[in-house]
Structure 1
Amino acid sequence: MRALGLRRSLYLLTAFLIVLLWFFQYCYPGHVERGYIKQRSQEHELIQVLRRASMPDRTVILTMVDESRASPGSLLEVLLQSFKSGEGTQRFLNHLVIITMDPQAFKYCRTLHPHCIHPSTFEAYFSPMRQSTTKPYQNAFSWRRNNVLLEVLDLGYNIIFTDVDVLWLRSPLSNFNPAYELSISCTLSSEGQREGYPRGGGIFFLKANAIAIEFFKYWKFIKVLYPNSDVEESLCRTIIESQDVTNVLGFRVQPVNTTYFGGFCQLNQDMLRDAYTIHANCCDDLTSKVHDLRIVLDDWIRFRKRVSGDNASDEMALRWPQKCPR
């Protein structure tokens, strides 16, 4: 019954949008034509960058940054350095597309990386908003990300999305099964009084097919219908709490072992030995993230030297996190 109700709502929304488009087409043809030309130009830019960055199987790596995450000494620098310092990860820089959310982030991104998307490409989503680490800002950031993911999926590109506060130590591709629409690692942690709050590992794989696109359209549709409701921005929590919808759509999810996608939420002594990526989760302050991730990266480089020097059995005590809470 829920699926039938959802379909009826979608039909009503589609009919309303068709009428609205007809009205603007005939009442304001010049305005619509200029908007269409601008939209086509922005879409062309996006397609060109995705085409240059795509792997042979039409997979791209995406991350999103604003000025606070893409400036001198910011998280973007640490992410790019991890690609250069990881085992077999430097080649992925050719496939990394950085979505910038403001002109300042785009300008700085271009000094570091060839595949940067200008914020005007997603102008409808990136309305000005005060940079912060507060919950409302993080929610808005997540919803903007979801809109971008939907557009890239719609263009037929598989996505490996990585948060900018993730270190790439090894290639994670072997952990993603393309038979599933989504491959994701979810950890359980506490947030205030809510025990067992599911958090993402900062990286996930999305397969570009009709099922994945319908799932993100549904998610976006619910947010539009109920903008003030407690619709979750967390992909992990949404998957856990929307089993009926994923079953109806046939949206298949591959849970990825959290041992391989580590983070500050769940520390273990063998993280450098086992993890493919490490996420600075359970930490809200950006300065603290940069500080602690640089220590992790330094320890990773030291660990690789020990392994190459036949000292792999030597224990390395975790020096992090220091500024982020344990």
Structure 2
Amino acid sequence: MERPPRRPSAARPRPRSLQRAAAALFLAIFVALPFAVLYRGPVSRSLHDSWEWDPLPSLDASEEDGAARDDDLDSQDLKLEQVLQKASMGDNTVILTTLNSAWASPGSVIDLFIDSFRSGVRTSSLINHLVIIAFDWNAYKQCLKIHPYCFALGTDGVDFSEEKRFLTSGYLEMMWKRIDFLRLVLESGFSFIFSDADIMWFRSPFPYFYPDGDFQIACDHYFGNATDLRNIANGGFNYVKSNERSIEFYSFWYSSRLRYPGLHDQDVFNVIKHDPYVSDIGLKIKFLSTSYFGGFCEPSRDLNKVCTMHANCCIGLQSKVHDLRVMMEDWRSYLSLPPSLKRLSALAWRVPQNCSLSWSHQ
């Protein structure tokens, strides 16, 4: 590039030493600037990758770079709303489950969970409304391989990737993280069905929900009445409508962890359901019958009615996986029968086997 012609000046000419210094400074800036730009790029990207994973797997590489550059503008709340919107039904309802590395390996719990949707009665289309919430990076990567709607929920300084044994500190922290996240979903205007991944879906549950319930929850033990507070709830499956009452309840539920240290969300719910404050906010609680929403604690006996079956009352990942596979075999055997034999009441599950019923909760 040619220099512009110098204009005549009456000023005294600059000493040669100053000219050389200025030229050296210009050259240094010219050489260093590209390296500064290159250096900044990887640093920004590594910070983005630490927890700010983009939950939209459809983004290509160039779009991901753009997302990293705009990370300060594109908050996690906005990303969550985007993925929920993509998966939602017409009434802003989504199906949610959570996943960590221990349950994400091929052939493990998450594969059985998704397989149950594909094998169920009127459930295959519901998988289009499922969002998988990953607690760690490996679970998120595995989710992207098997499902279009994934969201990475990270927590600084907490590793949720390993199997969390029942009532350990890691288990409790993960369960309470889930409650706080579900509150955020409700505040975003989305109703949801939350389902643990160790629940097999055999029929669409929507015909069996109560139209007037704000908060509907499955049970370890059901006493025959949907409004009986003596029912022993299981937090692994619930249907919650987004409204002021449900949002306030989830805030109350989450804050109650401080009043009952050492208890997980399910046990705390079974305490606070009696609290007068729940009545004061007007929350309508309905308990779901184990005839339709069963589990190892109290199985759904009639395969002609069952909607979901939960590997509750079961400790240990390997035991769960074994019995879930047996359950899926039982279901496929049922589906292969002619209609006349399906109506026989003699049909029964072969589970639990490796799972122990000595536990009253999952």
TM-score (structure 2 length as normaliser): 0.71
Question: Could you tell me how far apart the structure 2 residues matched to 1:198 and 1:209 are?
Answer: 24
Q: Secondary structure at the match of 1:128?
A: coil
2:88 to 33, 38, 54: 54
User: Following superposition of structure 1 onto structure 2, how do residues 206-217 of structure 1 map, counting pairs within 5 Å?
Assistant: 206-217=240-251
Structure 2 CA distance for partners of 1:60 and 1:312, relative to 1, 3 Å: same
Is the 1:199–1:236 Cα contact (8 Å) retained in structure 2? no
Q: Tell me the distance in 2 between the aligned counterparts of 1:228 and 1:183.
A: 23
Asked whether 1:288 is paired with 2:319, we answer yes
Report what 1:67 is aligned to: 101
Asked if the contact 1:61–1:95 (Cα under 8 Å) also holds between the matched residues in 2, the reply is: yes
Give the equivalent residue in structure 2 for 1:149: 182
Q: Does the CA-based 8 Å contact 2:99-2:139 persist in structure 1?
A: yes
Q: Cα–Cα, structure 1 residues 204 and 55, in superposed 2: closer, same or farther, change >3 Å? A: same
Question: 1:274: Cα distance to partner?
Answer: 2.2
Q: Which amino acid aligns with 2:173?
A: A
State the structure with bigger RCO (CA 8 A, min sep 6), 1 or 2.
Answer: 1
Is residue 244 of structure 1 aligned with residue 276 of structure 2?
Answer: yes
- Native 8 Å contact 2:205 2:307 kept in 1: yes
Deviations 1:248-272 (A, max 9, x none): 111110122121111101136x342
TM-score by length of 1: 0.78
Shift of 1:38: 4.1
Counterpart CA distance in 2 for 1:295 and 1:184 is 25
Whether the aligned pair in 1 keeps the contact of 2:217 and 2:233 (CA below 8 Å) is: no
Q: What is the distance in 2 between the residues matched to 1:186 and 1:265? A: 9
* Paired residue type of 2:355: C
Q: What secondary structure does 2:117 align onto?
A: helix
CA drift at 1:152: 0.5
Relative to structure 1, the CA distance from residue 48 to residue 235 in structure 2 (aligned partners, 3 Å threshold; closer, same or farther) is farther
Cα 1:227–1:201 shift into 2, 3 Å: closer
State the identity as a percent: 34
* Superposed displacement of residue 113, structure 1: 0.4
Distance 2:87 2:267 in 1: 25
Corresponding residue of 1:111: 145
CA contact (8 A) 1:85 1:169 kept: yes
Counterpart CA distance in 2 for 1:279 and 1:42 is 31
Return the alpha-carbon distance in structure 1 between the equivalents of residues 290 and 268 of structure 2.
13
The structural deviation recorded for 1:236 is 7.7
Q: Tell me how far apart the structure 1 counterparts of residues 236 and 99 of structure 2 sit (CA, whole Å).
A: 14
* 1:83–1:93 CA contact under 8 A, matched in 2: yes
Q: Which letter does structure 1 place at the counterpart of 2:106?
A: P
Instruction: Give me the whole-angstrom Cα distance separating, in 1, the residues matched to 2:192 and 2:310.
Output: 18
1:67-123 CA-to-partner distances (Å, cap 9, x unmatched) read: 001111211000000000000000011000000000000001111100010234xx4
Number of aligned positions between the proteins: 279
Amino acid at match of 2:123: T
The unaligned stretches of length 5 or more in structure 2 are: 1-69, 223-229, 358-362
Residues 214 and 284, structure 2, Cα contact 8 Å, conserved in 1: yes
What CA deviation, in whole Å up to 9, does each residue of 1:35-87 have, x standing for no partner? x9648432222111111100001000000011001111211000000000000
